[in-house]
Structure 1
Amino acid sequence: MDTSDLFASCRKGDVGRVRYLLEQRDVEVNVRDKWDSTPLYYACLCGHEELVRYLLANGARCEANTFDGERCLYGALSDPIRRALRDYKQVTASCRRRDYYDDFLQRLLEQGLHSDVVFVVHGKPFRAHRCVLGARSTYFANMLDTKWKGKSVVVLRHPLINPVAFGALLQYLYTGRLDIGVEHVSDCERLAKQCQLWDLLEDLEAKCEKVSEFVASKPGTCVKVLTIEPPPADPRLREDMALLADCALPPELRGDLGELPFPCPDGFSSCPDICFRVADSNFLCHKAFFCGRSDYFRALLDDHFRESEEPVASGDPPVVTLHDISPDIFTHVLYYVYSDHTELPPELAYDVLSVADMYLLPGLKRLCGRSLAQLLEEDSVVGVWRIAKLFRLARLEDQCTEYMAKVIEKLVEREDFVEAVREEAAAVAARQETDSIPLVDDIRFHVASTVQTYSAIEEAQQRLRALEDLLVSIGLDC
C-alpha cells in the first residue's frame, strides 16, 4: 500500500507525501514496480524537478551510463531535471543510511573487516570471508573445504580470470548486486559458469538483452555499465546468510532444523571465530557480522571493553559470556544480524526490542515495531504508542496515531488516552494556552488525510469534534 502510494505521489510531484513515506513509513527509495521503474524515473518523466532533487539527495540511484541513469535522463521532461541528473554523484554512505543491511554488506566487502582469506588475482588482492563465500556458493564451499582448505592466501593465475570480473563476482556474492563494465561482461559470464552461479548467469543474459533493446530504441543513449540488482523482496541473499545463523545455533536449540541445509556433500564449516555463551548455550558466530552490524559488539570485541574468556579447547574460538538475555531471545538477535530478518511473534516483540536497543541494532528495533503494530487495538494502542515513543520508533508511533484517528470517538472515553494527552501537553516546555500538542496534532493530521469524498467529510468532522470536546473538558485549548 505504501509502495503504491509512493509511485502515485511521485507521478503527482507531491514532495510532502513522498517525504512522509520515506522518512516516516520507511518505504525504500529505490523500490521498483512491475514495469521495472523506480520512483525517480516517474518524477523525471512527469517533470517534478524539486522532487527529483529530493530523491537524489535521499539515495535514489541514477549513476551515469547505467540503464537506470540513461532511462531517467532520456525520459526527463525538462532541461533543469537533465542537469540535476548529470550533476548527480555516486550515492554516499549518508544517503544510503536507510538500508542498513545493504550498507553493511558493501562495507564488509570493501573494508574486509575480520576477513580470513585473501584471493590474489594476477597480483590484485581481494580480502574475503570464508563464511560468506561458502554460504553463497556451492563451488566456493567445496573449494574452501578441499583445495583451498587452511589457506589464508589463494593465488589465482589462470589467464582467463579477469581481476575486474572477479571483483564483480565477489560484489554479487556479498550484496546480490553487480556492477560491471560492458567490456567485461563476457569475462563475468565465464566466471559465473565456472562458479556454478546459474542465477547470476541468467540475470546477466537477461540484462544484456534488455539493455540492447533499450539502446536500439532510444537513439543517443549510451550504457557503459551493466547493473544487476535483486528484484524487490528477493529472499535469496538473506536466506543464504541465514544458513550461517543455522550453523551458529547450539544443537539443543535447532529444533526442527534437523540436518543443516547446505548443499555440500561433505558438510560445511562456517569457520566461526567467536563463541557467545548465553546461559548454558554456546553460539558459534563471526566477528565480521556482529562487529559490522552493532557498535555494541564492536566495542565488546574490538575495543578495550573486551570480556572474552579463554577458548574452551585448543583451536576453538574465544568465548564471550552475554548476561541478562535468554538463548531464545538471542536467537532472534542472531538471525537478524546474519540475515536482517527474524520470525518474531508479537508476544516476544517487547523483550527483543529491549535487547535490540541495548545492542544498538536499529533495524531490529524496526522489525520489533512492525511486530508490535499487529497488536493495535483500542485497549492496547496507547500502550504501544508509549513504547514507540520510548524507543524512538517513528513508524510505529505514526501507525499508532493513525489507528487512534480511526477510533478517536471511543478513545476519548478511555482514561489511559486522556492521561497520554495530559502528559504530552505537560511535556511541551513553557507551553502557552494556544500551543499545540504533538499527539493531538498527529491525530488531527490522520483524520484529515482520510477525507477523500464528500461523505467522509462529516465523519471526519465528528471525529475532530470528539477530540476537541475532550480537550475542552480537561482544560486544554490548542
Structure 2
Amino acid sequence: MSDLDDIDLDPEDFKSSIPLKKVPYGDVFEASRAGDVDRLRYLLDSGVNVNARDQWDSVALYYACLAGHLDAARMLLESGAICSEHTFDGDRCHYAALNLKVRKLLKAFEARPPPLGPLQASLRDTFLACKANSSYLDQLNAQLPTSLFSGNSFNGGLSSNHFPPDVVFYVQGRPIEAHRVILSARSPFFKAKFETDWKEKKEVRFSREKLSYPSLYSLIHFFYSDRLEVSVDDMEDLVKICRVCKCQSLQTLIEKELIHQKYAEYKALKEIDNSQKRFILQGFSLPEQDRLPAAMLRILQISLVNSSRGQNLENSVDNFVSLVGSGFQDDLADVCVRVDKRIFRCHQVVLASRSEYFKARLSHMNDFLEGSDLLLDYTLPCLEENDLSMKAFEKMIEYMLKKCLMLLQDTCYSLLNVQ
C-alpha cells in the first residue's frame, strides 16, 4: 500500500475480508466482486467506464464495498468512482459497505474527489477566477459543504489565475463569465451563435424566465473542467439546456440518471431533502470525442490549418498586428504568435491558462493595446517568439491540450532549451 497516512487505515486492513478468486475474463463488475485487482487494473487501464451500471443497476464500486475488498475499492476510487453520500450510487456504496473499514475509505475519498487532468484543472481555475463565477461558488459552498467544488479552496487564492472573459451571460439577472473558444469547442449551439448572432456581442441576456441559472452554470463549468455536479432538482432543466446546446452524449447520460433517480428508494423517503442530493459525473463517462481534450484538439487542428493557409498571404506584419484571412473557417483565434517565419493563430485563454509565461506576455500586451488605435476590427494582436522552432512551438501547443506527446529528439531538445 502507498500513502495511507491520511486514510486512518492500517495496511493490514487492506487484506481481503473474504477469499479472493481470479476472474481472468471477467468484466469490471466481476473483477470488483471477486477482488481480482490484476484484472481490475487491466480493465481500468483499458479505459473502462468506472461508473457504468450493470443489468442490476449496480456500479463496480458497489460490489467491491459489498464484498469488503478495500484494495479493489481504493483502485476504483482512484480512477474516479463516485462515492459521495449525496449521490444515488454513493448512497448505495455507503449502505452496502461490509464493515466500518470500507466506510472509512469511502469517507476519505469523498473528502478529496479525484484530481482533474492538467488541462481541465487549468481551465477550471480560469473559469472560477472570474469574479461572478467565484461569487456563485461561494454561495454554493455555503449551502452544500460536501460539494465537490468545496474540495478546492477558492478564497481568493486563485486570483493569479484570472484571465478576463470575452463574453458574459445574464440569466435571471445573474452573470456567468466565460470564453468563446471553450464554449464553441464543447457545443455546436454556442459555436453557431458566436459565428452569427453573437459575433460582436460582449454580453448576452437570456429573457426566458424558465432558464435555470444553476443548470446553465453547471453546464458551463463542465465545459471547462469535464466534471459535472448538479442538484437532482435541476437535472430536468439541465437536460433541456443540453438539448438546446446539442450536447447529445451528456444529455443521454443525464436522462438515464433521471430514470434511476426517479425509482431510487431514497426518493420515497419523506424525511430526505432531495434538493441536497447531487448528481456528479466525470468527463471520462462520455465518449472520448466528447471530452474536453478532444474538443480543444479539434479547435487546434482548425487553427493550424488556418495558420498554414495564412502563409500564402504576405508575411509583412509587425510584432503586434496580423491580418485575419477572410476565407478561413472560423477558429475563434484572438491572438497570433509569430515563430520563425510562420504565424500561428492561437487562443489567449488557452495560452494563459496553461502557461505562466504566456499569461504574463498576454497581460502586458493587452495593457499596451488597451485604449490604443493600433488594431483595426479585422486584425489580431501578435506576439513574436525568437527562441523556438516552428515544430517545437506546434508541439508545445499540442502538449497544452494533451497529457503526453511523441517527440523527436531534436524537438525535445528545443523544448528543453525553452524551459
Equivalent pair of 2:249/2:290 in contact (CA under 8 Å): no
Hey, what does 1:142 align to over in structure 2? Answer: 192
Flag the structure with more relative contact order, 1 or 2, with Cα contacts below 8 A and sequence separation at least 6.
2
The one-letter code sitting in structure 2 at the alignment partner of 1:115 is P
Hey, what does 1:186 align to over in structure 2? Answer: 236
Hey, what does 2:50 align to over in structure 1? Answer: 32
Quote how far apart the aligned CAs of 1:281 are: 0.8
**Secondary structure in structure 2 of the residue aligned to 1:208:** helix
Which whole-Å CA distance do the structure 1 matches of 2:88 and 2:415 have between them? 38
The one-letter code sitting in structure 1 at the alignment partner of 2:278 is V
Quote how far apart the aligned CAs of 1:90 are: 4.4
Higher helix share: 1
The 1:213/1:179 distance shift into structure 2, 3 A limit, reads same
Quote how far apart the aligned CAs of 1:64 are: 2.4
Give aligned-pair identity as a percent. Answer: 25
The 1:139/1:60 distance shift into structure 2, 3 A limit, reads closer
The 1:63/1:220 distance shift into structure 2, 3 A limit, reads farther
Which whole-Å CA distance do the structure 2 matches of 1:55 and 1:218 have between them? 29
Hey, what does 1:288 align to over in structure 2? Answer: 349
Describe the superposition over 1:346-366 as per-residue Cα deviations: whole angstroms up to 9, x where unpaired. Answer: xx4434444555666xxxxxx
Asked whether 1:236 is paired with 2:295, we answer no
Which whole-Å CA distance do the structure 1 matches of 2:237 and 2:289 have between them? 27
**Secondary structure in structure 2 of the residue aligned to 1:318:** strand
**Secondary structure in structure 2 of the residue aligned to 1:271:** coil
Equivalent pair of 2:53/2:60 in contact (CA under 8 Å): no
Equivalent pair of 1:62/1:68 in contact (CA under 8 Å): yes
Which whole-Å CA distance do the structure 2 matches of 1:146 and 1:336 have between them? 31
Q: TM-score, normalised by structure 2?
A: 0.63
Equivalent pair of 2:335/2:348 in contact (CA under 8 Å): yes
Describe the superposition over 1:28-49 as per-residue Cα deviations: whole angstroms up to 9, x where unpaired. Answer: 9996276578775555333245
Q: Of the two, which has the highest radius of gyration?
A: 1
Equivalent pair of 1:277/1:322 in contact (CA under 8 Å): yes
**Secondary structure in structure 2 of the residue aligned to 1:235:** helix
**Secondary structure in structure 1 of the residue aligned to 2:170:** strand
**Secondary structure in structure 2 of the residue aligned to 1:321:** strand
**Secondary structure in structure 2 of the residue aligned to 1:150:** coil
Hey, what does 2:17 align to over in structure 1? Answer: none
Equivalent pair of 1:102/1:175 in contact (CA under 8 Å): yes
The one-letter code sitting in structure 1 at the alignment partner of 2:179 is H
Quote how far apart the aligned CAs of 1:78 are: 0.5
Which whole-Å CA distance do the structure 2 matches of 1:220 and 1:50 have between them? 36
Equivalent pair of 1:10/1:43 in contact (CA under 8 Å): yes
Hey, what does 1:158 align to over in structure 2? Answer: 208
Structure 2 residue corresponding to 1:62, chosen from 80, 83, 100: 83
Quote how far apart the aligned CAs of 1:127 are: 0.8
Which whole-Å CA distance do the structure 2 matches of 1:162 and 1:357 have between them? 48
Runs of 5+ consecutive residues of structure 1 not aligned to the other structure: 256-265, 361-478
Hey, what does 1:324 align to over in structure 2? Answer: 387
Asked whether 1:107 is paired with 2:125, we answer yes
**Secondary structure in structure 1 of the residue aligned to 2:288:** coil
The 1:242/1:279 distance shift into structure 2, 3 A limit, reads same
Asked whether 1:96 is paired with 2:115, we answer yes
Which whole-Å CA distance do the structure 1 matches of 2:329 and 2:414 have between them? 30
**Secondary structure in structure 2 of the residue aligned to 1:272:** coil
Hey, what does 1:167 align to over in structure 2? Answer: 217
**Secondary structure in structure 1 of the residue aligned to 2:280:** strand
Quote how far apart the aligned CAs of 1:130 are: 0.8
Asked whether 1:226 is paired with 2:279, we answer yes
The 1:209/1:274 distance shift into structure 2, 3 A limit, reads same
Aligned residues: 333
Instruction: Note the aligned Cα RMSD (angstroms).
Output: 4.6
Describe the superposition over 1:72-109 as per-residue Cα deviations: whole angstroms up to 9, x where unpaired. Answer: 213311123224534655436xx616x21222232233
Structure 1 residue corresponding to 2:304, chosen from 236, 240, 249: 249
Quote how far apart the aligned CAs of 1:138 are: 2.2
Asked whether 1:71 is paired with 2:133, we answer no
Asked whether 1:337 is paired with 2:400, we answer yes
Equivalent pair of 1:114/1:287 in contact (CA under 8 Å): no
Hey, what does 1:275 align to over in structure 2? Answer: 336
Equivalent pair of 2:32/2:63 in contact (CA under 8 Å): no
Describe the superposition over 1:404-457 as per-residue Cα deviations: whole angstroms up to 9, x where unpaired. Answer: xxxxxxxxxxxxxxxxxxxxxxxxxxxxxxxxxxxxxxxxxxxxxxxxxxxxxx
Equivalent pair of 1:29/1:58 in contact (CA under 8 Å): no
Describe the superposition over 1:243-272 as per-residue Cα deviations: whole angstroms up to 9, x where unpaired. Answer: 3212322646369xxxxxxxxxx9863433
